Chain A
Amino acid sequence: MSRRLYLRKSVPFSLLEVNLLEADNGDLARISREMGLALNLREMRRVKEYFSKVGRNPTDVELQTIGQTWSEHCYHKTFKGTIRTSDGREVRSLLKTYIVKATEEIDAPWCVSVFEDNAGIIHFDGDYAVAVKVETHNHPSAIEPFGGAATGVGGVIRDVLGVWADPIACTDVLGFGPLDYDFEKLPPGVKHPKYIFRGVVAGIGHYGNNMGIPTVNGAIYFDESYTGNVVVYCGCVGILPVKNYVKNAKPGDVIVLAGGRTGRDGIHGVTFASLELTEESETVSRPAVQIANPIEEEKLKRAIIAVRDLGLGTSITDLGGGGLSSAVGETAHRFGCGAYVDLEKVPLKYPGIAPWEIYISESQERMLLTVRENDLEKVLEVFREEDVEATPIGRLTADGRLELRYRGYVVADLDIEFLFSPPPVERTARWVRPRLSEPSFPEPEDLTSDLLKILASPNVASKESVVRTYDHEVKGNTVLKPFCGRYDGPSDAAVLKPLDGSWKGLVISCGMNPRYGKIDPYWMAASAIDEAIRNNTAVGGRRISLLDNFVWGNPEKPDRLGSLLRACEACYRFAKGFGTPFISGKDSLYNESPLGPVTPTLLITAVGVIPDIRRTVSMDLKESGSILYLVGATYPELGGSEYYRLKGFIGRSVPKVRIKEAAETVRAVVKAIDSGYVKACHDLSEGGLGVAAAEMAFSGGLGLEINLSKVEASGGLSRSDFVLFSESNSRFLIEVPEKVKDEFEALMKGLRFSPIGRVKAEGWLSIYGLNGSRVVDVSIKDLRDAWRSTFGG
């Protein structure tokens, strides 16, 4: 080992030449590790090959740039790579084969720009479109929950700004380990779920509230596997006039960096996110977590929207993972240009930062714009007026090269084509069906206490104490809020009225069922899609678009990839079946910790519209005497259910989606809502009919009498507890006034549905079992108290 791998360049600042040309395989691996590149040997050899051709060694700036650009986080190697399955199939690009394919085949006329930019864009109303994006920020939140979650919100807001859209709402879906997790069982490097929970919740509120963007929809989910791998999904919706969606950058345009200053925070964020978490993550990767400043982003937002309205920008992108390296490279690549950047011009938080650090820092609240030379002064004036720093740092060029300079020296000179052609990834996938069996236990005579326990279980219980720490009202456009009814019931979806001159509403909902994935990720994905869509439908949403966000373990392990593949297969089939295109998505892989891999988790976000917000339906019961219908058939599907969990089982009878029936049900419910027959509507999810009925009753302050023998049951359902707690998909509970009974039933013709009970004035829930005896007998006050007991109000 006499070769020196790193040679200091004789320049008046820190710049290394990395001796790649003489490096053997061992050296290559060592360089990747020591420089934090997270590149594998194959990729390192490709880099060496490139520089051999060029005939010189790379600088540290160049290697870091390549490491960022080729990271899983930036390039999505797994989703774009080739997968060989254990049964001999070859899948070229999960993204194209399943996700994009569904969208292309549905060919929805409302899609404006999908899978192209930082956010998916769909038509909304008249001249307006909405942009939607959901991101994950799991790794940073595991290390530093407050900063990790806050910058997750900040990042996804910039994604939306990055398509010239004005952010109007945020969503957040969180996954934590059990809050009562035994401290003694925590391995070194893993923080207690309660600490992470508090930090994440505070971080999300801090950013959204301070920026004045309402947090309107979300969920909190608890799973043992989230103890070592916290799950933080942050979503943002923005609105823009379609004509302002400008991308026409060309060589000669000036590159302007706007917003916060660049510092050492967020170095190697993306490579960190593309590795498993270890005991050392805390010490090694702490600098990867960025620092949040929502007020800076609020000002930046105003300036960007002003630049947009003046038509002064030719392209825009946010600085997120990979910092400048990713923003500059992707902008140049997208417009078939080269780029020249003078790193010395980048405003810094403090001196002494090496050029490679400047180029890959993920400091927050920064955006990159390109503007025509003639407009530069006007653009800078807009930023000055908002007290936001904006600096021209370079130009787009025509030569297809990325040239970085620092103090007059060229510190990087790379071919952009090479930079965006990492060696394709090939991985193997093998999914083995887990050996699970259906449990056997006696049917309880009384189901009241089980119902109360399920209402209080962490995944079902009210999250009001968290949700009220987020401002869901700011901007004054939230029509249906997270809580509805007389007694703060859980809304199925949020409805917004984004335009003053229009009654059209935007409907935002989500679906997620990690427990089903423990049985079969295929049906988990199907269920998440069904749940997101039925939540949207329940309030009156239609014309739905979907976002897919995968949180999985290390894809280099065949079983993790096998389950990912199965989920993707379901995404294609069920999105297509419902006619709901994917418009954006993101994958977060490598969610593994000393406690093991994350439970594969797919979040589906659904964005629909309602033609007139005054038709919005909430889930609280409205009037005594109404009929309660259960629409959709109930099957013996309790695998992964809350009821089985309560009894200590997983089971194997995972809920399926019968796509033809499901799509017809959704259409019929929308029709019934538009016809004005629906007084209240609630989807059936965790806890099945029992939980949905209880929630509708206590939210409206009214009672219910239900007869389980009236339920449209299939497949040999012979137990009252199974009918009450089955989690079969595609089902709705609908309150219909007696006087429009016939009209409603005519609309439902051909579907599996039945009247199962009646709304009562007295605040009492009575449920009669299959044999006619009373199985639930409880006041709605007790139901509500149980629901609110776990996290408080």
Chain B
Amino acid sequence: MEKGEIRVCILRVGGTNCDAETKRAFTELGVEAEVYHINQIAKRGILQESEALVIPGGFSYGDYVRAGAILAKGLLTKLGDDLERFIEEGKPVLGICNGFQVLVEAGLLPGFDGVGSRPEAALTTNIPVGYRCRWVYLKHENRGNCIFTSKVPRDVTLRIPVAHAEGRFIFPEGKEQEYLERLYENDQLVFRYCDEDGRYAEGRYPTNPNGSFHDIAGICNPEGTVFGLMPHPERAYYGWQLPDWTRRGSPPKYGDGRLIFESMIDYLTRKF
């Protein structure tokens, strides 16, 4: 389909707060993006009219209980069947930061056994404990399965900021190796924290900003159409958002985050 025909649905609830800049990223690429409250999406059947769903960053419902937990339940109860169909049709779902937490809590990521199962991982309290806002480097690990990084060459290092208190990706105790192997087998691993030169953080703070298992920053489902990441690509969309662009005299036009949105649009124009 043509770019201009693509409709991106950006979901929000009380406490969502990165919706405007996420919408801007899509609009800039020439697709139609709109922010809808989950109640409107449910009531007006917005999902059926959309080609992509994005759950942006924020503190949905205050992140009480656990980050993303309440919205995850809301997602399944309010949009359950529609969402399942949406995913089965291969329409992309992107979760950024809080959105990633929601997708994991909802069991949609890593989604080893498809939609609707119990959570198989968690994004839990950072180590060291606390909210941190900083720029990190991400190594692209995907071998071509993830539709959100098709424009990112393998092994390339991207620079994107994180800002969260609960971003430590973990698998259930005792299942770490097994699940990690499945991630690799299914080509679900997308980003790992690394240093400027692309060397894995190996858990070292602040290169790995939250103590994530295996330096995991972002993963996709086995089909590569549902993707969640803790870093905020919408905050690395323009060159002037970079933390040290002033060293160059004038900012580059774009930042690395743009590649993710571009890849997603590219997939949609080709597939639908």
Q: Is A359 an interface residue (CB 8 A)?
A: no
Q: Is B156 an interface residue (CB 8 A)?
A: no
Contacts of B244 in A (CB 8 A): 484-486, 618, 620
The answer to whether A474 and B131 touch across the interface, beta carbons within 8 angstroms, is no
The answer to whether B15 and A614 touch across the interface, beta carbons within 8 angstroms, is no
Q: In the complex, how many angstroms separate the beta carbon of A291 from the nearest chain B beta carbon?
A: 13
Q: Is B3 an interface residue (CB 8 A)?
A: no
Q: In the complex, how many angstroms separate the beta carbon of A387 from the nearest chain B beta carbon?
A: 6
In the complex formed, the residue of B with least CB distance to A539 is B246
Mask, B12-33, CB within 8 Å of A = 1, is 0011111011001000000000
The answer to whether B17 and A212 touch across the interface, beta carbons within 8 angstroms, is yes
The answer to whether A471 and B133 touch across the interface, beta carbons within 8 angstroms, is yes
**Measured between alpha carbons, how far is A617 from B130 in the docked complex, in Å?**
31
The answer to whether A478 and B131 touch across the interface, beta carbons within 8 angstroms, is no
Q: Is B167 an interface residue (CB 8 A)?
A: no
Q: Is A345 an interface residue (CB 8 A)?
A: no
The answer to whether B57 and A469 touch across the interface, beta carbons within 8 angstroms, is no
**Measured between alpha carbons, how far is A500 from B241 in the docked complex, in Å?**
13
Q: In the complex, how many angstroms separate the beta carbon of A120 from the nearest chain B beta carbon?
A: 25
Q: What secondary structure prevails in chain A residues at the interface with B?
A: loop
Mask, A465-494, CB within 8 Å of B = 1, is 000111111111111110111100000000
The answer to whether A481 and B243 touch across the interface, beta carbons within 8 angstroms, is yes
Q: Is A793 an interface residue (CB 8 A)?
A: yes
Contacts of A474 in B (CB 8 A): 17-18, 21, 57, 163, 235
Q: Is A720 an interface residue (CB 8 A)?
A: no
Q: In the complex, how many angstroms separate the beta carbon of A8 from the nearest chain B beta carbon?
A: 42
The answer to whether B21 and A483 touch across the interface, beta carbons within 8 angstroms, is no
The answer to whether B130 and A212 touch across the interface, beta carbons within 8 angstroms, is no
The answer to whether A469 and B131 touch across the interface, beta carbons within 8 angstroms, is yes
The answer to whether A485 and B247 touch across the interface, beta carbons within 8 angstroms, is yes
- Selected contact of B163 from candidates A471, A483, A613, CB within 8 Å: A471
- Selected contact of B21 from candidates A385, A470, A475, A486, CB within 8 Å: A475
**Measured between alpha carbons, how far is A705 from B161 in the docked complex, in Å?**
34
The answer to whether B247 and A473 touch across the interface, beta carbons within 8 angstroms, is no
Q: Is B118 an interface residue (CB 8 A)?
A: no
**Measured between alpha carbons, how far is A212 from B39 in the docked complex, in Å?**
21
Of residues 187 through 218 on chain A, the ones whose CB sits less than 8 Å from some CB of chain B are 205, 209-212
The answer to whether A613 and B240 touch across the interface, beta carbons within 8 angstroms, is yes
Q: In the complex, how many angstroms separate the beta carbon of B171 from the nearest chain A beta carbon?
A: 27
Of residues 603 through 621 on chain A, the ones whose CB sits less than 8 Å from some CB of chain B are 613-614, 616-618, 620
Q: In the complex, how many angstroms separate the beta carbon of B166 from the nearest chain A beta carbon?
A: 12
**Measured between alpha carbons, how far is A85 from B37 in the docked complex, in Å?**
60
The answer to whether B37 and A385 touch across the interface, beta carbons within 8 angstroms, is yes
Q: In the complex, how many angstroms separate the beta carbon of A620 from the nearest chain B beta carbon?
A: 7
Q: Is B132 an interface residue (CB 8 A)?
A: yes
In the complex formed, the residue of A with least CB distance to B62 is A295
Q: In the complex, how many angstroms separate the beta carbon of A474 from the nearest chain B beta carbon?
A: 6
Contacts of A293 in B (CB 8 A): 62
- Selected contact of A476 from candidates B132, B234, B246, CB within 8 Å: B234
Q: What secondary structure prevails in chain B residues at the interface with A?
A: mixed
Q: In the complex, how many angstroms separate the beta carbon of A792 from the nearest chain B beta carbon?
A: 10
The answer to whether A473 and B235 touch across the interface, beta carbons within 8 angstroms, is yes
Most chain-A Cβ atoms within 10 A of its Cβ — which of B20, B61, B237, B244?
B244
Q: Is B59 an interface residue (CB 8 A)?
A: yes
**Measured between alpha carbons, how far is A475 from B23 in the docked complex, in Å?**
11
The answer to whether A473 and B251 touch across the interface, beta carbons within 8 angstroms, is no
The answer to whether B131 and A471 touch across the interface, beta carbons within 8 angstroms, is yes
The answer to whether A295 and B251 touch across the interface, beta carbons within 8 angstroms, is no
Q: In the complex, how many angstroms separate the beta carbon of A206 from the nearest chain B beta carbon?
A: 9
Of residues 56 through 70 on chain B, the ones whose CB sits less than 8 Å from some CB of chain A are 57-59, 61-62
Of residues 142 through 182 on chain B, the ones whose CB sits less than 8 Å from some CB of chain A are 161, 163
Contacts of A387 in B (CB 8 A): 14
The answer to whether B241 and A476 touch across the interface, beta carbons within 8 angstroms, is yes
Contacts of A210 in B (CB 8 A): 15, 17, 59, 62
Known: A473-B235, A479-B240, A497-B240. A468 touches B59 (CB 8 A): no
Q: In the complex, how many angstroms separate the beta carbon of A186 from the nearest chain B beta carbon?
A: 27
Q: Is A622 an interface residue (CB 8 A)?
A: yes
Q: In the complex, how many angstroms separate the beta carbon of A541 from the nearest chain B beta carbon?
A: 14
Q: Is B77 an interface residue (CB 8 A)?
A: no
Contacts of A476 in B (CB 8 A): 18, 21, 24, 232, 234-235, 237-238, 241
Q: Is A463 an interface residue (CB 8 A)?
A: no
Known: A209-B59, A210-B15, A497-B240. A486 touches B247 (CB 8 A): yes
- Selected contact of B17 from candidates A211, A468, A478, A616, CB within 8 Å: A211
Q: In the complex, how many angstroms separate the beta carbon of A100 from the nearest chain B beta carbon?
A: 36
Q: Is B134 an interface residue (CB 8 A)?
A: yes
Contacts of B16 in A (CB 8 A): 212
Q: Is A299 an interface residue (CB 8 A)?
A: yes
Mask, B41-78, CB within 8 Å of A = 1, is 00000000000000001110110000000000000000
**Measured between alpha carbons, how far is A477 from B237 in the docked complex, in Å?**
11
The answer to whether A614 and B132 touch across the interface, beta carbons within 8 angstroms, is no
**Measured between alpha carbons, how far is A793 from B206 in the docked complex, in Å?**
9
Q: Is A298 an interface residue (CB 8 A)?
A: yes
**Measured between alpha carbons, how far is A468 from B161 in the docked complex, in Å?**
12
The answer to whether A470 and B133 touch across the interface, beta carbons within 8 angstroms, is yes
**Measured between alpha carbons, how far is A480 from B21 in the docked complex, in Å?**
17
**Measured between alpha carbons, how far is A211 from B57 in the docked complex, in Å?**
11
Contacts of B14 in A (CB 8 A): 295-296, 298-299, 386-387
The answer to whether A295 and B247 touch across the interface, beta carbons within 8 angstroms, is no
Contacts of B243 in A (CB 8 A): 481, 483-484
**Measured between alpha carbons, how far is A614 from B21 in the docked complex, in Å?**
20
- Selected contact of A475 from candidates B20, B61, B131, B238, CB within 8 Å: B20
Contacts of B39 in A (CB 8 A): 385
The answer to whether B18 and A212 touch across the interface, beta carbons within 8 angstroms, is yes
The answer to whether B246 and A617 touch across the interface, beta carbons within 8 angstroms, is yes
Of residues 243 through 267 on chain B, the ones whose CB sits less than 8 Å from some CB of chain A are 243-244, 246-247, 250-251
Known: A484-B246, A500-B24, A616-B246. A295 touches B241 (CB 8 A): no
Can you spell out 18 A-B residue pairs with CB atoms less than 8 angstroms apart?
A205-B131, A468-B132, A468-B134, A469-B130, A472-B133, A474-B17, A476-B18, A476-B21, A476-B234, A476-B237, A479-B240, A483-B243, A485-B246, A486-B244, A497-B240, A614-B250, A622-B247, A700-B247
In the complex, given contacts A385-B37, A474-B18, what are 10 additional A-B residue pairs having Cβ atoms less than 8 angstroms apart? A469-B133, A471-B131, A473-B232, A474-B17, A476-B18, A484-B244, A484-B246, A486-B247, A614-B240, A614-B251
Which 6 pairs of residues, A with B, have the shortest CB-CB distance?
A212-B17, A476-B21, A618-B246, A295-B62, A295-B15, A299-B14
Interface of A toward B, CB cutoff 8 Å: 205, 209-212, 293-296, 298-299, 385-387, 468-481, 483-486, 497, 500, 613-614, 616-618, 620, 622, 700, 793
